[in-house]
Amino acid sequence: KMAEKQEEPSNTQNGEPDNAEEGEEKKKKLKREDLPPFEIVTGERLPAIFFKFQFRNVEYSSGRNKTFLCYVLETQGKESVTSRGYLEDEHAAAHAEMAFFNTILPKCESSLRYNITWYVSSSPCVTCADRITETLRKNKNLRLTIMVGRLFMWEEPEMQAALKKMKSAGCKLRIMKPQDFEYVWQNFVEQEEGEEAKAFVPWEDIQENFQYYEEKLAEIL
């Protein structure tokens, strides 16, 4: 459908590992029109190549300048409604965490209860952490659990303070275990059409990285 779009992607580090084969690149180009930078993208499922690059729980996350946020939003009223999807951002514009509160859940009805789980490639920046804290303090009917692949700038004292405030406002912050990555893979990542769903293949150091970040987070909180 978009085969005539020939120009190069505007953002090569858009989740593209360095050694991706040409064929993948072409396939991706046909599948997904280039999005203007700094646009919040929402969708049902994210491309597998983005997941493999952005969610990787490595310590040095060069080139990973996006946040991917997969959410499960359960609204409990007379009837329970569950919705899910994902948001992605570029760090120069609204972050995915802000976008969630601005677009997915712009207002909390006080008569309803909201249980929200986010699976995010990295933990929020200071500004987003403060916004989360403020939103939770204002809306006592909101429960938020954030599962993160990596900790963002966790050595910075103001970042540590912001994470502590989130915790005191009732936010549960957890590091994603291998099973959580697998959950995201099964529920939020595009599977090739017509193929059997591919099993999640954990990367080599997934368990050690999880333990590393879990220890860091325990020290901070």
Question: CA–CA separation, 200 vs 178, rounded Å?
Answer: 10
pTM of the predicted protein model: 0.74
Query: Do the domain assignments include residue 47?
Result: yes
Identify which of 59, 60, 45 has the alpha carbon closest to the alpha carbon of residue 191.
45
Give pLDDT, residue 11.
Answer: 42
Strand residue runs (E) in the chain:
41-43, 66-76, 80-90, 113-122, 142-150, 172-175
Structural domains counted in the chain: 1
Query: Do the domain assignments include residue 35?
Result: no
Query: Do the domain assignments include residue 116?
Result: yes
Residues involved in catalysis:
97
Strand order in the sheet with 41-43: 41-43, 80-90, 66-76, 113-122, 142-150, 172-175
Which DSSP category does 56 fall into? -
Query: Do the domain assignments include residue 159?
Result: yes
Query: Do the domain assignments include residue 197?
Result: no
Query: Do the domain assignments include residue 4?
Result: no
Query: What confidence tier does 42 reach under pLDDT thresholds 50, 70, 90?
Result: low
Question: CA–CA separation, 31 vs 187, rounded Å?
Answer: 20
Identify which of 190, 161, 173 has the alpha carbon closest to the alpha carbon of residue 116.
173
Q: What is the pLDDT of residues 8-30, one digit of tens each?
A: 344 444 444 444 444 444 444 43
Number of other CB atoms surrounding residue 118 within 10 Å: 23
Q: What is the pLDDT of residues 97-143, one digit of tens each?
A: 988 998 889 888 989 999 999 999 889 999 999 999 999 999 999 99
Q: Domain of 212?
A: 41-56+63-190+202-220
Query: Phi, psi at residue 49, to the nearest 5°?
Result: -65, -35
What residues have CB less than 8 Å from 22, skipping those under 6 apart?
A: none
Question: CA–CA separation, 55 vs 68, rounded Å?
Answer: 8
Give pLDDT, residue 25.
Answer: 47
* pLDDT (mean) for 153-178: 96
Query: Do the domain assignments include residue 68?
Result: yes
The b/e string for 183-210 (b: 16+ C-beta within 10 A; e otherwise) is: bbbeebbbeeeeeeeeeeeeeeebeebb
For residue 212, the domain's CATH number is 3.40.140.10
Identify which of 22, 27, 40 has the alpha carbon closest to the alpha carbon of residue 96.
40
Alpha-carbon distance values, 69 to 97, 120, 140, 149 (Å): 7, 4, 22, 11
Q: Cα torsion for 88, 93, 96, 101, to the nearest 10°?
A: -140
Query: Do the domain assignments include residue 29?
Result: no
Identify which of 219, 102, 71, 86 has the alpha carbon closest to the alpha carbon of residue 159.
219
